[in-house]
Amino acid sequence: MALPLFAVGIAVGALAVTAFNNRAKIADGFEKGAKFAKKIARKELDEAFKFAEKVKREIKPQKPKRTQNRKRKTTVKKEDKNAS
């Protein structure tokens, strides 16, 4: 049971050493990927804003239709029971 865990530990250690030795290449790869993702995100965001402006221009705000005029509620004065 301990042998597979030992093998996994050696493999993880080897990957860590390899990554540490190639950290400059890995950092450059992450930096290029981040710049590319930022460029794509900016492009998509600009397109979304243009689309929103187009929709705003095409759809005119509509005023709600007025319903029939409702009569105002009038308050009914309660008669004073003591006055009778």
pLDDT of residue 37: 95
The DSSP H or E segment spanning 60 is: none
- Which residues in the chain show pLDDT less than 70? 1, 61-84
- pTM, entire model: 0.47
Q: Sign of the C-alpha dihedral, residues 18, 23, 25, 29?
A: positive
Nearest-angstrom CA–CA distance, 23 and 30: 10
pLDDT of residue 16: 92
pLDDT of residue 31: 94
pLDDT of residue 59: 82
Chain CA centroid to CA 40, Å: 17
pLDDT of residue 1: 64
CB 19 within 8 A of CB 26: yes
